[in-house]
Chains A and B, each alone.
Chain A
């Protein structure tokens, strides 16, 4: 999310077999191998960054016999990318999806940006992969035409076989591969029109599902190898805390414990903790040994208290902040307003809690390090491991397993760096560092606690004449640059700067806050709180004006226009016409305006994030002080759709994720220490709380945009509005359950 994308049109290259072999073993003797340069991205701007040299990199291989192979250079964490990438290729190559085998890439800048975040994997590979498939198909058809001495136009391709319509001749891609490899790569291969798609836009099952349901899929913790030892790490209680001394004698009495030693913190590498590592024959012994450690810590200066943070954030938004966007004259609008409506919206720190806690295996041997880990960002992991171990970038290999959920947590390689530091002390022995759930909850990179203030000016007729929104929260950049306070444009661009409503006088301001915690990105990032404030304020204003909240939104959006604030928005500025369309679609799908049975209330929200437009209606009631969510209706416009079933699954998942934190999610801090530790005190949604979810996908041939995250932001404000209808109370804080109960 922090990166800037340069829009480069993909160039496709023929490459030598030797180079393919560096990336994937076992390429056949006479294969057609094509590589292309994926999107180039400034992933890590430091001086010793490996150069992003131009060379083709994401490979497809068409061997004489056997499966077509495609390198998956993005990571699978449940969003279905290992299914979507081969779909893009297979559509244009004209092969069956089952005939494409996926080879998971190691972390390497030759693959361009591998950081799997920002709901960007399909968007960034949409053109590349389809063009690579089309180029290969054209070369294979040309090879057949030359072999048979016929026109290319008389040939037809079906499921990886070229047919000569004039005769009965046919040849498989494998049979044509070595001839095709001698031809030039077409510069501008012709892509199919969407009307001819047979794979894209059709439901496909997850390629990894058969392994998953039989327990055969390999996640981070499932790495096994001879001589493997398991480590558990006791970290200082606070960020910045330091080890004074420790006594390992009781830990060493636990059967199976082999080593106990300290590792140093790495403050400039994502603020990675140090601590005391217990290394044992098995996980239980490592954890049990760790529990027996006696340690004295210097707690450092961290002293944050979340109640005090709440007050401090509110004080910030009550003052003036850094001006981010200004239109008209808000001060004058306020002076002449008939009424000013003012509201503060608060939300707590949140932690990711992916089902798989962080885990990493590292082997340091002969001056090299090899890593196996469930990481969203293998290149940064590789770079930081090399730096931490004093090795060269080329001496480190990062293998990527499946990710047992991530939600942004596994974009930070702190757990890999800890494992590397431990493994370095045990050269020649592979070590797996297993985090507990408590480690994950207490040593997270938290979604920021926030306060948002909205002031809205109304004239005598109730018309909205002015909008001031002041956002205050600790910035993610403090994780990369300790001490940073001001938010980065990409954080403010998430649902704040691009407020879409047409209001004559607008003042947007931001204030930073120095947190003692490590701040990170959590599914949808700053969109979660900006969507909370903007939607709740709009819903309250509609109520004040005696208007229906859907009609009110549509009126404020007005005639379609494009809202663009920076280079980054192009060619994907916010098109208010598309937002209008999803609002109308969600309203219709949900039967908006009809009376609901059983005292249920209906709430509405809409949001634009990761270039996708989402509107959502939530039906909820309160029964004996307990919130019951009955139904969620969602309309979404994410441009062209690769796999509709994945999109629906991601919206179902976004609803669960959004309801979890809207109802319960709350990390609190006292004396700089996180007070929660596991699912007993950080509850998440259970199956019995699962509402019906209906999804309407807007049909579009525009370029695809994000899917994994955009469903999340509207959930909390739509639920808030529904509960407001039920109880008549206004809710401005999250989480909601304890306020309703």
Chain B
């Protein structure tokens, strides 16, 4: 009873317990360690990935629920690490310890995919419960706006 899903464009079949959270399937079974564990209760955002394009907390979705779906992790956000958010993140020198950053970027990427002109309130509500204990919030906000700007001008 293996479970088939697509991760970063490649199909994988996993022979794991259906109850295993997607987070641990990604990290322990498939080796996508860019997605992080921070709380296990959907309250910190470190484990955020896209499931069929929607930002989801992978620590609380069972792998059985993503059967046949398409998952994107930080490793698959862009082929070259050149997503506008990734570039803006470097420009604004956002990371400190960096542990929360994959989750922040994936949450922001889902926002920008639908809204390339987000207000502060849009950013705040999208990134609620995306905790950065190092305190990079100010730069995260600035970097999202820069990336949105770039995406608007590219269109």
| A contact set with B: CB distance below 8 Å | 76-80, 203, 205-206, 208-210, 212-219, 221-222, 224, 230, 255-256, 281-285, 288, 353-357, 402-407, 434, 436-437, 645, 649-650, 652-657, 660, 678-680, 684-688, 690, 692-693
Cross-chain pairs A/B with CB under 8 angstroms, 22 sampled: A76-B97, A78-B96, A78-B98, A209-B90, A209-B98, A213-B89, A218-B33, A282-B24, A284-B21, A284-B28, A354-B133, A355-B44, A355-B134, A357-B38, A437-B38, A652-B135, A660-B133, A678-B39, A686-B131, A687-B123, A687-B132, A688-B128
Residues B96 and A79 in contact, CB atoms below 8 Å apart = yes
Residues B89 and A355 in contact, CB atoms below 8 Å apart = no
A355 touches which one: B29, B38, B125 (CB < 8 A)? Answer: B38
Residues in A whose Cβ lies below 8 Å from that of B137: 656, 685-687, 690
Residues in B whose Cβ lies below 8 Å from that of A210: 81, 90
Residues A212 and B135 in contact, CB atoms below 8 Å apart = no
Using known A-B contacts A687-B141, A690-B141, determine if residue A679 contacts B90 with beta carbons closer than 8 Å. Answer: no
A678 touches which one: B28, B41, B90 (CB < 8 A)? Answer: B41
Q: How far is the CA of A230 from the CA of B23 in the complex (A)?
A: 15
Q: How far is the CA of A434 from the CA of B90 in the complex (A)?
A: 30
CB of A80 to closest CB in B, whole Å: 8
| B contact set with A: CB distance below 8 Å | 16-17, 19-21, 24, 27-29, 31-41, 43-44, 46, 73-75, 77, 81, 85-86, 89-90, 93-102, 105, 123-125, 127-141
CB of A477 to closest CB in B, whole Å: 27
Residues A215 and B35 in contact, CB atoms below 8 Å apart = yes
Residues B127 and A687 in contact, CB atoms below 8 Å apart = yes
Residues B90 and A282 in contact, CB atoms below 8 Å apart = no
Residues A678 and B43 in contact, CB atoms below 8 Å apart = yes
Using known A-B contacts A216-B34, A355-B46, A356-B99, determine if residue A653 contacts B128 with beta carbons closer than 8 Å. Answer: no
The 3 closest A-B pairs by CB, nearest first: A215-B34, A656-B135, A404-B99
CB of B91 to closest CB in A, whole Å: 9
B102 touches which one: A76, A215, A353, A357 (CB < 8 A)? Answer: A215
A209 touches which one: B17, B27, B85, B93 (CB < 8 A)? Answer: B93
Residues A437 and B101 in contact, CB atoms below 8 Å apart = no
Q: How far is the CA of A285 from the CA of B129 in the complex (A)?
A: 26
CB of A444 to closest CB in B, whole Å: 14
Q: How far is the CA of A730 from the CA of B138 in the complex (A)?
A: 30
CB of A251 to closest CB in B, whole Å: 14
CB of B32 to closest CB in A, whole Å: 8
Residues in B whose Cβ lies below 8 Å from that of A678: 39-41, 43
Residues A212 and B39 in contact, CB atoms below 8 Å apart = no
Residues in B whose Cβ lies below 8 Å from that of A693: 138
Q: How far is the CA of A41 from the CA of B33 in the complex (A)?
A: 37
Using known A-B contacts A282-B20, A678-B39, determine if residue A407 contacts B90 with beta carbons closer than 8 Å. Answer: no
Q: How far is the CA of A402 from the CA of B99 in the complex (A)?
A: 9
Given contact pairs A284-B19, A284-B21, A686-B128, enumerate 6 new A-B contacts (beta carbons under 8 Å).
A213-B90, A213-B105, A256-B17, A283-B28, A355-B133, A406-B97
Q: How far is the CA of A210 from the CA of B34 in the complex (A)?
A: 13
Which interface residue of A284, A650, A660, A685 has the most chain B CB atoms within 10 A? Answer: A284
Residues A652 and B136 in contact, CB atoms below 8 Å apart = yes
Q: How far is the CA of A404 from the CA of B39 in the complex (A)?
A: 13
Q: How far is the CA of A650 from the CA of B97 in the complex (A)?
A: 11
Q: How far is the CA of A212 from the CA of B9 in the complex (A)?
A: 21
Q: How far is the CA of A77 from the CA of B98 in the complex (A)?
A: 9
Residues in B whose Cβ lies below 8 Å from that of A652: 135-136, 138-139
CB of B79 to closest CB in A, whole Å: 11
Which interface residue of B34, B85, B135 has the most chain A CB atoms within 10 A? Answer: B135
Residues B37 and A357 in contact, CB atoms below 8 Å apart = yes
CB of B49 to closest CB in A, whole Å: 11
Residues B39 and A656 in contact, CB atoms below 8 Å apart = no
Residues in B whose Cβ lies below 8 Å from that of A281: 28
B130 touches which one: A288, A436, A687 (CB < 8 A)? Answer: A687
Residues in B whose Cβ lies below 8 Å from that of A436: 40
Which interface residue of A222, A357, A404, A684 has the most chain B CB atoms within 10 A? Answer: A404
CB of B44 to closest CB in A, whole Å: 6
Residues A405 and B34 in contact, CB atoms below 8 Å apart = no
CB of A730 to closest CB in B, whole Å: 28
Residues in B whose Cβ lies below 8 Å from that of A284: 17, 19-21, 24, 28
Q: How far is the CA of A684 from the CA of B43 in the complex (A)?
A: 11
Residues A404 and B123 in contact, CB atoms below 8 Å apart = no
Q: How far is the CA of A488 from the CA of B89 in the complex (A)?
A: 43
Q: How far is the CA of A238 from the CA of B96 in the complex (A)?
A: 34
Q: How far is the CA of A77 from the CA of B123 in the complex (A)?
A: 26
Residues in B whose Cβ lies below 8 Å from that of A645: 93
Residues A212 and B95 in contact, CB atoms below 8 Å apart = yes
Using known A-B contacts A213-B90, A356-B97, determine if residue A230 contacts B44 with beta carbons closer than 8 Å. Answer: no
Residues A353 and B97 in contact, CB atoms below 8 Å apart = no
**Can you name the residue of chain A whose Cβ is closest to the Cβ of B88?**
A213
Q: How far is the CA of A693 from the CA of B142 in the complex (A)?
A: 13
Using known A-B contacts A282-B20, A284-B24, determine if residue A354 contacts B97 with beta carbons closer than 8 Å. Answer: yes
Using known A-B contacts A282-B20, A693-B138, determine if residue A209 contacts B89 with beta carbons closer than 8 Å. Answer: yes
Residues A213 and B93 in contact, CB atoms below 8 Å apart = no
Residues B37 and A213 in contact, CB atoms below 8 Å apart = no
Q: How far is the CA of A407 from the CA of B101 in the complex (A)?
A: 18
Residues in A whose Cβ lies below 8 Å from that of B125: 688
Residues in A whose Cβ lies below 8 Å from that of B99: 219, 354-356, 404-405
Which interface residue of B16, B31, B86, B93 has the most chain A CB atoms within 10 A? Answer: B93
Q: How far is the CA of A680 from the CA of B124 in the complex (A)?
A: 18
Residues B124 and A206 in contact, CB atoms below 8 Å apart = no
Residues B43 and A656 in contact, CB atoms below 8 Å apart = no
Residues in B whose Cβ lies below 8 Å from that of A686: 124, 127-129, 131, 137
Residues in A whose Cβ lies below 8 Å from that of B95: 78, 206, 208-209, 212-213
A205 touches which one: B28, B46, B93, B100 (CB < 8 A)? Answer: B93
CB of A97 to closest CB in B, whole Å: 14
CB of B133 to closest CB in A, whole Å: 5
Residues A402 and B97 in contact, CB atoms below 8 Å apart = yes
Q: How far is the CA of A403 from the CA of B98 in the complex (A)?
A: 9
Q: How far is the CA of A256 from the CA of B32 in the complex (A)?
A: 20
**Can you name the residue of chain B whose Cβ is closest to the Cβ of A352?**
B133
**Can you name the residue of chain B whose Cβ is closest to the Cβ of A407?**
B133
CB of A254 to closest CB in B, whole Å: 8
Q: How far is the CA of A657 from the CA of B99 in the complex (A)?
A: 16
Q: How far is the CA of A76 from the CA of B74 in the complex (A)?
A: 22
**Can you name the residue of chain B whose Cβ is closest to the Cβ of A216?**
B34
A282 touches which one: B28, B34, B73, B135 (CB < 8 A)? Answer: B28
Residues in A whose Cβ lies below 8 Å from that of B81: 210, 213-214
Residues in A whose Cβ lies below 8 Å from that of B39: 437, 678-679
CB of A351 to closest CB in B, whole Å: 11
Residues B138 and A690 in contact, CB atoms below 8 Å apart = yes
Residues in A whose Cβ lies below 8 Å from that of B94: 209, 213
B86 touches which one: A214, A221, A679 (CB < 8 A)? Answer: A214
Residues A355 and B100 in contact, CB atoms below 8 Å apart = yes
Q: How far is the CA of A218 from the CA of B99 in the complex (A)?
A: 10
Residues in B whose Cβ lies below 8 Å from that of A222: 33
CB of B114 to closest CB in A, whole Å: 19
Residues A212 and B43 in contact, CB atoms below 8 Å apart = no
Q: How far is the CA of A205 from the CA of B99 in the complex (A)?
A: 17
Residues B28 and A230 in contact, CB atoms below 8 Å apart = yes
Residues in A whose Cβ lies below 8 Å from that of B33: 215, 218, 221-222, 224
